[in-house]
Amino acid sequence: MRLFFALTFDDDTKRNLMTYQNLLRSSGINGRHTRTANLHLTLAFVGEATQEQKQKLIRILRQLKSKCDGLQIDHLGAFHQKRSRLVWMGIASNRALMNLQRELTTALKAQGFATEAKKYMPHITLFRHDTGDTQLKYVDVKARHVDVYSIALMESIYVDNKLAYRVVDEVLQSQG
């Protein structure tokens, strides 16, 4: 099973994030959009894990002391890949988020899990495989607060040949 840790959002927040996808689509973005149910913010990618490792990961999740109950989304960005780009919504500087991610990666390392060496760049993926030439700096993005629903251990699965993310376990962050 392929596992990762993420911040999740409630349905209303996901619908609000869809408005940015619609704005980008009308601005010329031609990539494959992230399905509404799959919108999340990755904290740490684990990869393939055994049942025993999954139980360790659940314990790590439940022992986290850091919280992050809200984010400010405020800009667009892209990671350039071979022939396309991944378009994302950026997060304003957030000490609680960075503390949570640092605590999580420290706990993962302590339990023998590999973590990514590159600098953590918090983002919400909106499109994959975009080959258009839309200049993201010209797309008007209004800063917006979004509530975080939970910190979750997620599993990547395929349902009807479509990628889906299933919550394995979660710790709720907001009461809204």
Catalytic, out of 33, 75, 80, 123: 123
The rounded distance, in Å, linking the Cα atoms of 162 and 57 is: 25
3-state SS of the chain? CEEEEEEECCHHHHHHHHHHHHHHHHCCCCCEECCHHHCCEEEEEEEECCHHHHHHHHHHHHHCCCCCCEEEEEEEEEEECCCCEEEEEEECCCHHHHHHHHHHHHHHHHCCCCCCCCCCCCEEEEEEEECCCCCHHHCCCCCEEEECCEEEEEEEEEECCEEEEEEEEEEECCCC
**pLDDT reported for residue 175:** 57
pLDDT in tens, the chain (176 residues): 999 999 999 999 999 999 999 999 988 888 999 999 999 999 999 999 999 999 999 999 999 999 999 999 999 999 988 889 999 999 999 999 999 999 999 999 999 999 988 899 999 999 999 887 778 877 888 889 999 999 999 999 999 999 999 999 999 996 54
Residue 80 annotated in active site: no
Q: Assign residue 49 a region: left if phi > 0, alpha if psi is -120 to 50, beta otherwise?
A: beta
Q: 24 with 119: CB under 8 angstroms?
A: no
pTM, two decimal places = 0.93
Please give the distance of CA 76 from its chain centroid, rounded to a whole number: 14
Catalytic, out of 40, 75, 80, 129: 40
Residue 145 annotated in active site: no
**pLDDT reported for residue 174:** 67
Fold of 2-172: Cyclic Phosphodiesterase; Chain: A, (3.90.1140)
Work out whether the CA dihedral 35, 172, 151, 93 comes out positive or negative: positive
**pLDDT reported for residue 130:** 85
Q: 163 with 155: CB under 8 angstroms?
A: no
